Amino acid sequence: MAAALSDAHRRFLQALLARGVVEAAEAERLRRLCCQRHPAPGASDALDDFLAALNAQLQPLSMEIRRGSAEDSGGAYVALVNLAETDLTKMASDFSENELELFKKTLDLILMSGNGFASSTEILNLADQLKPKKMKKMEVEQVLQQLVQKKWLCEKEGEYTLHIRSILELEQYIFRHYPESARKCHICHSLSIQSQVCEDCGIVLHCSCLSKYFQTQPEPRCPHCKQFWPHRIPDLHPPSQLPSSARRESRKASRTGFRHQQ
Ligand SMILES: [Zn+2]
Ligand SMILES: [Zn+2]
């Protein structure tokens, strides 16, 4: 049986519950604070060990602390995920009625879009169709802002997509409810919302996964069918963050002119 939770674990869990999702660096800061306040001599200093001990206790409750990467920047995040719930209303207990209704409709738009984004115009046009009561456009704008604040959605120049919190918490829900349009990344095998698609074999890659993958390849070719990758490759992982062998490969790739620079 897993060891009982220490006070440091309990305090960390409370902090994570209050925030919903945190950047991995913030999770590490919280872990350090909790361990300073409730020292446990001999305990490991690693965040992964700390989270594994918590997950062993959370498992019987069908909950898990998961790590994930933001789809655009590749930044690391940590979120508490409810694995048992299949009903969006109960999963996202901090939704108000308006937020839930608008979130569902926006989720439809994002998943049907093909590129992972819904424009604010498209979302505002839903105002009349919302149930149980229609919303004024101004109300829709306010509710959208709340969804961004709560980290269910993120917004970039009037375009909305799913925040990593939604992706981590709703992955199973989305695969179940959108079997036609939910896609898995060929590299990391998790749900991919903002992605590029191989025009030859149809595999899907996260922008952050493909950016990392192509830095270690001499030519940008599909990791599955090996055809030339025709899309612009976002430069999200500066070579200095890669191990030195990968860095050499990356320099070689950019010298040959295959990488599309931003
Ligand atoms: Zn991926
Ligand atoms: Zn391919």
Q: What confidence score (pLDDT) does residue 132 get?
A: 72
Q: Residue 222 C-alpha to ligand 1 middle, in angstroms?
A: 14
Ligand nearest to the CA of 231: 2
For 141, counting Cβ atoms within 10 Å of its Cβ (0-12 exposed, 13-18 middle, 19+ buried), the class is: middle
Q: Residue 188 C-alpha to ligand 1 middle, in angstroms?
A: 4
Ligand nearest to the CA of 69: 1
Q: Residue 208 C-alpha to ligand 1 middle, in angstroms?
A: 7
- Paired tokens of 94: 């901090």
For 93, counting Cβ atoms within 10 Å of its Cβ (0-12 exposed, 13-18 middle, 19+ buried), the class is: exposed
**Domains identified in the chain and CATH numbers:** 7-61 (3.90.1150.220), 89-178 (1.10.10.10), 182-237 (3.30.40.10)
Q: What confidence score (pLDDT) does residue 18 get?
A: 87
User: Which mean pLDDT values do the consecutive 10-residue runs of the chain (262 residues) have?
Assistant: 78 91 96 92 87 94 91 89 74 77 93 91 87 84 93 92 92 91 93 92 91 92 95 71 44 37 34
Q: What confidence score (pLDDT) does residue 183 get?
A: 93
Instruction: Pinpoint the alpha helices (H) of 20-136.
Output: 24-37, 47-58, 88-91, 97-112, 120-124
Residue 252 is given by DSSP the state: H
Ligand nearest to the CA of 188: 1
- Beta partners for 159? 119, 156
Q: Residue 212 C-alpha to ligand 2 middle, in angstroms?
A: 17
Q: What confidence score (pLDDT) does residue 252 get?
A: 39
Residue 46 three-state SS: coil
Q: Which residue from 21, 133, 134 is spatially nearest to 69, judged by alpha carbons?
A: 21
Q: Residue 222 C-alpha to ligand 2 middle, in angstroms?
A: 5
Ligand nearest to the CA of 210: 1
Q: What is the model's pTM? A: 0.80
Q: Residue 162 C-alpha to ligand 1 middle, in angstroms?
A: 15
Q: What confidence score (pLDDT) does residue 159 get?
A: 95
Q: What confidence score (pLDDT) does residue 257 get?
A: 36
CB contact set of 204 (below 8 Å; sequence gap of 6+): 183, 184, 185, 186, 192, 195, 196, 197, 198
Ligand nearest to the CA of 223: 2
Q: Residue 207 C-alpha to ligand 2 middle, in angstroms?
A: 15
- In whole angstroms, give the CA distance from residue 194 to residue 207: 7
Q: Residue 128 C-alpha to ligand 1 middle, in angstroms?
A: 36
Q: Are 236 and 203 in contact (CB under 8 A)?
A: no
Evaluate the CA torsion angle 171, 173, 174, 175 in order and state its sign: positive
Q: What confidence score (pLDDT) does residue 216 get?
A: 92
Q: What confidence score (pLDDT) does residue 86 get?
A: 67
